[in-house]
Structures are given as structure tokens and as C-alpha cells.
Amino acid sequence: MSANTRFETLGDIARKRGNLAVGCSGCQRRAVISGEWLDRMFMVQRWDSRVAFVRQRIRCSRCGARPDLVRVTHQKPTMDRPPRTEAEWRKLAARLRG
């Protein structure tokens, strides 16, 4: 993994079929989120999609804390069912925004 990872955008990651591994220091939850899926969501929200900023936009789905670890991975996403419709995306984004 290069030292420039934090300057990559979700679009860069999605193109390389990468995903993001996030971890929560509050409850120790670990998850891998699809890069393509996050890229779409950040686009819908018009959020800064550079990896360094991603952790400011997402929250732990279990305890609501900010994730303390966000890195690019090629592990399979652990999220079972990404939303398919625009409405589902917006609902998810609203939830993530908290």
C-alpha cells in the first residue's frame, strides 16, 4: 500500500475494485465496506470523497462512534446488502450522517 493512499478518492479506489476496511475503537467492530458503494453514496451527498475525509462522514452502525481506522483493502465487503435504489441510498446516507 502506498503512502499516498490518504489522498486517493473513493472513485480511485472503486476503479481499482478496492474496498475500505473500517474499525471502531468504541466497540471493536470491524467492517469492510464496498468502495464502489461508498463512492456512489458520497457522490449522491456531494461529500469530499478523499479517503482522509471518509471517517468524518461515517459512523459505527453498532455504537455510533466515528471509525478510527479507514484503509484500503481488497478483502470482500462484509456489508450484506448494499442499497439499490436512489431512495435507499438517501435513507442510508441519512442514517450514516446521524
Interface ranges with Zn ion (CB under 5 A):
24, 26-27, 29, 60, 62-63, 65
**Shortest gap between Cβ of 38 and Zn ion (angstroms)?**
18
Q: Is residue 34 within 8 Å of 88, Cβ to Cβ?
A: no
Q: Which is nearer to Zn ion, 61 or 75 (CB)?
A: 61
Rounded distance between C-alpha atoms, residue 48 and residue 46, angstroms:
7
**Shortest gap between Cβ of 31 and Zn ion (angstroms)?**
10
Q: Which is nearer to Zn ion, 27 or 52 (CB)?
A: 27
Q: Which is nearer to Zn ion, 28 or 75 (CB)?
A: 28
Q: Is residue 75 within 8 Å of 21, Cβ to Cβ?
A: yes
CA 2, 27, 97, 58: dihedral to nearest 10 degrees? 10
Indicate the DSSP class of residue 37. Answer: H
**Shortest gap between Cβ of 66 and Zn ion (angstroms)?**
9
